Amino acid sequence: TSALGFELELQQAPATVSVLTADFLKDAGIKWLGQALNLLPGVTIGDNTGTPREGILIRGYAAQPTVNGIPQAVTSRPKFGTLNIERIEVIKGIAGVEGNVDDFGGTIDLVTKKPQRSAAREFTAGVGDFGYKQLAIDTTGPLALAGALQYRLIDAATPSARGVMATRR
């Protein structure tokens, strides 16, 4: 896990850690962060301490996800897509020592996919419930300097009632 800000073997982590990998998310057909977090015990998507917005709760306390350790503002139901996610790490417990001082229930870190030295391309098409449709491409590889400079492009298009919603990461 790297949710504590440094690499650590899961057996050495001083708290309860749950890790959802990109392979699991893909195999389970999970499209949004909220769907993934609903699978974890102690983590819910719901009423955020009586305010009119919904958010992520870990053991009853509001939690804000970080992306590669950088805090993210969550103002409504979490709709992060999972195309760019390598793994989701959730640490439950008193987080004052492990993460933000005000995240009492725990912390959530979204680790994104990184550019690779070897070329790879993946095309996906999906359909699902409530009229969900998506076309996506994930491509990575070297650009120059014998692989010292790499790129990664993840692009997706999802038709909606208002037209096509494109996502680039």
- Per the structure block, which two tokens stand in for 98? 């492990």
Summarize pLDDT for 99-156 with one digit per residue, the tens: 555 566 788 888 988 888 888 998 888 887 777 787 888 888 888 877 788 888 888 8
| pLDDT attached to residue 15 | 63
Length of the chain: 169
Summarize pLDDT for 32-41 with one digit per residue, the tens: 888 888 888 8
For residue 67, the SS3 value is: strand
Can you tell me the mean pLDDT for 59-74? 77
| pLDDT attached to residue 131 | 74
Q: Is 143 within 8 Å of 133 (Cβ atoms)?
A: no
Please identify which residue in the block is written with the tokens 């098409």.
125
The residue among 166, 6, 18, 1 whose CA lies nearest residue 92 is 18
| pLDDT attached to residue 24 | 92
Share of residues in the chain with pLDDT > 90 (%):
4
DSSP line for 82-144: STTEEEEEEEES-TTTTS-TT-SSEEEEEEEP---SS-EEEEEEEE-GGG-EEEEEEEEEEEE
Can you tell me the mean pLDDT for 70-78? 61
| pLDDT attached to residue 47 | 55
